[in-house]
Every structure is written in structure tokens, then in C-alpha cells.
Amino acid sequence: MQRKNYWHKARNCSLKKGKRLLLISGIAAILCTACTAEKEENSAEVPTIRVMAWAAGHTNENRDLDLVNKALGDLTEKKIGCRLELVYSLNILDYRLILGSKEKTENQVDIVGMYSQPYWSYAEEGYLMKLDSFLEQYGEGIFEVLECDAEELQIKISQNSEGIYGIPKAMPEINIIGVAARKDLLEKYHFSLDEVKTLEDLEPFLECIAQNEELSPIVTTAWNGNFFINDRFDLVDSAGAIAVRKAENFDTGNSGFELAKDGIEASAENGFVVENFFETPEFENYIMMMKRWREKGILTNQLGRQDEMGLNLVVAGKAAVTEIIVRPDETEEWLGMYGDEIEIKGFDMKPFMTTSDKWRYNWCVSSECQYPELAVQALELMYTDPEVNNLMLYGIQDIHYVVDEEGFFGYPEGVDQNNVGYFTNEKWQFNRKIGGLWEGMSKNQRQEMEEFNAQAVYSPIYGFVLDEEPIENELNQIQQVIYDSYFTIQAGFGEGQESLEEFQARLQEAGIEKVKKEVERQILQWKAES
């Protein structure tokens, strides 16, 4: 009996101890679960700011993008408390899909780079956030890089709404145009780029390629491009129909100094001439050259449709020549990478700077962005921080590049542009002035860039912004005519002079003369008020 009582006591004691252990274990489990949940919650609280960038010609599809984004996120989390993530776009993109979706999608981004025309349109449609107050607090470094104040970045998107909806990229759009050509083909056909001063000077070489080689003689820089070289015109309207140039560059035998409106007479003394771009001698000569090149087989049917950048096609042996932007930083980098395969030659021209060049490419924040303060801080890093820029420009050190004893960046052993896991040709988006110098670049490259930029010839109406509202209907009609006909005739199709004259007649019917007069009236008024 006693033994039985003892057994019951022992069992009860064990049960109580077990219950206590279960209780303690349960509490511990709850506490651990709470700790885990707290950790997960804290981890989830680190915001991610997604940046859409361009990567035309990323031949390896940037297979290491996740690796780069991990490093980029770790870096920016330490600096500003959010994870910055790069999202590379396709060449064709409807920004509404990534900016305006009320329901968040995997394509949603917070920061997006865009060219001037969509920038103004999306700002007017409410897709872009007004940044004035955020830049006032977080944008000091951006203004220092751009060497301007907030007022210079403000645009008027409606009668009652003025502000900053986009920030021009860090490096101004100052360049000249030129070509990159395959060295082996230049040698094979005994052709030198030394005497090439204009695009037309390449015609004998391109004709040889068309007759003797199974590849494209010449391709544009990027998708949907053309070959018109503009070094004197400022195209001031969204349709690109009205050109303004300095009076000293105008052929006075071609009329154009007699237009008057509202009692203001336009003359050479005003320092500029307003023209119908599509009736200028330069444009007409260009169209006839394109027609001739089409007949000689120089232009292929794939012209302007290629997905890869023109330079990549030349290096890959799919094209003999590509038209490219030429300036010291990019030229030196390309020659450092491809110098055994290509030659580069700039045309006989000076850099030409227009108002639209300043606004050509802008970084904007989506109006749906949940963390606008962090987005602007992230932008500030993109403009001012060398570590952030090097990750975006080149990837991760010792994986995608190494740094030599002299401080130059280059590929690690066994790695080149054909197999590197992260590569972008679109380095112009970022502030490469504060990034590393690639092997082949001059140590004085930044000084060379400053000297090159100082050569820029500024438009006679630099700073002028056209109010398109009084001519909106005419511009829409002109846009439709351009859409219907321009791309055909500029690619050398049609009947040459006859097709050009039909195109010009349709533009007259669409109201291009009214647009020209209104542009001139506004410029004269702007100059008088200035």
C-alpha cells in the first residue's frame, strides 16, 4: 500500500514536473516564435527602392544582376536605411505599367529614368511625384553635381502647377557624332577613317561592304534610330518639325528673314532663324542620300530594328560600321575594351548644346512611391556616391572587375565582355565622373571631359521652352503625318524626291507654317523679356 501510495505520489510529481516542463517549453516556443516574428518583422521593415535603368546590348542578360543587387542593397541599407535594387528594362516599354499601377506588380518601380518627351507627358498625367520639398531636405548633393539651384529644374506642367518632377542625369548631353568601324574590313578594302569628316564620306567603303560582304554595312547606334547628323539645329517642338539655328549658319539666299507677327519683325539681327526642319537643305540632302544608299544595298531591311546596340553588332562581326556618340570618356573605354577590333572617328563638328539636351534624360520618382524621402536619398547617392556608382557601372570588385596597381579597372583573369556576368553599355545614365577609370582611359580623362564640354556651342535659344498649347492641334496633326511617312522616306524607301515633296505637302496641310510662326513669336517675346 505504501509502495502504491509512493508510486502515485511519484507519478503525480512526475506529471506536475512534466506539465511544468511542457509549460516552460511552450513559453519558450512562444518566446522563440515571437523573436523570430520580431526578426522577420524588423527585416521586412527595411524598405526596398527599385530603380529602372536601361541596359541595351546586355549580351549576357546580366545573369549576376541578383548578386549585384544584393551588394547594392547591403551598401545602401548601411548608408540610408533602404535597399536599392536595379531593374533593367526592355527596349520597348510603357511606363504606365511600372509607374501608375494602383495594385503593386512585380514590374513596379520607384525611380525611373526617361527621355524628355515622356517625362513631360507623364508629369502632366500625374504619374510622377513633385520633388521640390524632398529635394530641399535631401538634394543638396544633387544640386552641387548639376551646378544649379532648384528653380532651374522647375517645369510648368499646367496653368496652376509648377515644380520639379524630374532631375537631369548627372553628366550633360554634350557630345559629337562619329562612327566605329571594324579594323579588319578597313584594312581589307584599303580605306582610312582619317579623311572621314561627314557621314557621306563613308559611302565608298559602305558600297564595297554591300557588294562583297554578308553583313550589314552600317547600323544605327540603338533601336529605332536614324542617321541624320544634327550639329546646328535646335529642334524646339515635340514633333521635331521646327528648327532654330544661328543666323550666321543660315544661307541668306534661302529666304527666311521676312516673317512678321504681332508687329515684331524677325531678322538676322535677332541672331537666329526659325525654319521648317523638313524643308531645310540639310534634311532634303539626307533623304536623297538615304534613297541612294537603299538602291546601292547599303541599308538593310533590319535597319533600326536591331535589339543590340550598334557597337555590339560591329564587335560581333554582324555589321561593318555603326554611328555612335563620341566623347572622351566613352571613346577611351571602348578602345580599351575593343581597340584591337575597331577604329573610332568623330565627324568634323563641335558639340552642340540645346535646352532639350539638358533635359534629354531625367530621373523621376513614381507618384505611387511609398517612400519618397528614401527615393530622393537614393537618387542623391546615385549622383554623389562613388561606391554606389561603381556597383551600377561595373558590378562587384574581384568578380566583375579588378583594380590594378595604378587604380584602373579591368576584367579579372579569364573574364571579358563576352562572359562577364554583369555589364551595361548604358553608363551615360549614371555619374561616371565619380566612378572608376577603366583600363585604356587616360588618367587625365576627367580634365579632358571638362575641356571637351567647354567646347560646346550653345543654341541661340538655350533656355527657351515652347508653350505648345496654342498650336496643340497642329502639332498632333504633324505628329500623325510624321508617323505615317517620315520613317519610310528616311530609311530610303519611296520614290526619292517625289515622296519627299508629298511628305512636305502633307505637313503644310497639317499646319506647319502656323506652328513655325507661333514658335518665332514666342522666341522673340522670350528674348525681349530676357
Residue 306 parent element (H or E): none
Q: Give residue 263's pLDDT.
A: 33
Q: Give residue 84's pLDDT.
A: 96
Q: Give residue 224's pLDDT.
A: 60
Q: What angle, rounded to 10 degrees, do the helices at 497-510 and 512-529 form?
A: 60
Q: Give residue 265's pLDDT.
A: 41
Q: Give residue 306's pLDDT.
A: 56
Q: Give residue 463's pLDDT.
A: 85
Q: Give residue 139's pLDDT.
A: 92
Q: Report CA-CA distances (Å) from 132 to 203, 483, 516, 517.
A: 50, 36, 34, 35
Residues of the chain with pLDDT under 70: 1-44, 55-61, 89-94, 100-107, 158-160, 222-225, 249-269, 302-307
By the 10 Å C-beta count (0-12 exposed, 13-18 middle, 19+ buried), 44 is classed as exposed
Q: Give residue 153's pLDDT.
A: 87
- Within 10 angstroms of residue 100's Cβ, the number of other Cβ atoms is 17
The Cα–Cα gap between 20 and 25 comes to 8
The Cα–Cα gap between 299 and 209 comes to 11
